Amino acid sequence: MTSTWESLKTMEVAGCCCGKMGLRQGTVAVSALVVGMGMLAYLSGEVLLAGIYLLLGGLGLYASLARDPTTLKVFIWAVVALVVVKVVLLLYYVVVQHALVSKMAEVRCAGLRHEQECLQWMQQTFGGKLALIFFGISALIVLCNGFMVLLAYNLKQVVEAGGNGDEMMTPAQYKKEHGHAGEPIVVKEGA
C-alpha cells in the first residue's frame, strides 16, 4: 500500500489551462493570480493577508521565472503551510462562531413560551449551515492550492531533469524523451 504522499508524487500534469500553457507559464499565471488576490486583500483593508499573498505570489513568480528547483521547493512548502494555517483558522472561526451562536440563542430565546424549540431552531439554522460553509471553503482552498502545488512540483521535476517547463510534457515524458533519470543537462562548450 502506498502512502498519500507517494500517490501525490505520481500525479503529473504537462501544462495548465486545458493545455494552452506549459508548466512554467501555468505556475506564473497562478502565482500572478495570488499576487492579484493580495492586491484585492490590501484594498479591502486586510494588510496581513495581503502581505502573505503578495509574498507567496512573488515567491512563486520568482521561482517559476528563474526555474530554480530550490526556490520552487520553498514555494511548494509555503503553499502547503498556508493551506494548513487557513484550515486551522477556519476551524477556529467555526468553533468561536458556534460558541457565539449558542450564547446568542440563549439570550434571544430566554423567556419565550417555546424556549427549547427556539434554541433548537437557532442551533440548526446557524450551526449546521456554518459547518457546511466551513467544509465547502476548506475543500475549495485545498483544491485550488493543491493544483498550485501540483503545477509547481511538476515544474520542479522537469527543471531538475534539465527542461525549462515550456515543453508541454510531464516529468516522466520529458525524462523518457530526453533519456534522463533526474540529473540536470550539462551543456558542454563547443558541442
3-state secondary structure the chain: CCCHHHHHHCCCCCEECCCCEEHHHHHHHHHHHHHHHHHHHHHCCCHHHHHHHHHHHHHHHHHHHHCCHHHHHHHHHHHHHHHHHHHHHHHHHHHHHHHHHHHHHHHHHCCCCCHHHHHHHHHHHHHHHHHHHHHHHHHHHHHHHHHHHHHHHHHHHHHHCCCCCCCCCCHHHHHHHHCCCCCCCCCCCCC
pLDDT at 1: 46
Least confident segment among 49-63, 109-123, 141-155: 109-123
pLDDT at 63: 92
| Distance separating alpha carbons of residues 26 and 17, to the nearest angstrom | 7
Instruction: Choose between 19 and 171: higher pLDDT.
Output: 171
Least confident segment among 9-23, 42-56, 68-82, 144-158: 9-23
**pLDDT at residue 129 tops 50:** yes
The grid coordinates of residue 8 equal 501525490
Average pLDDT over residues 6-21: 66
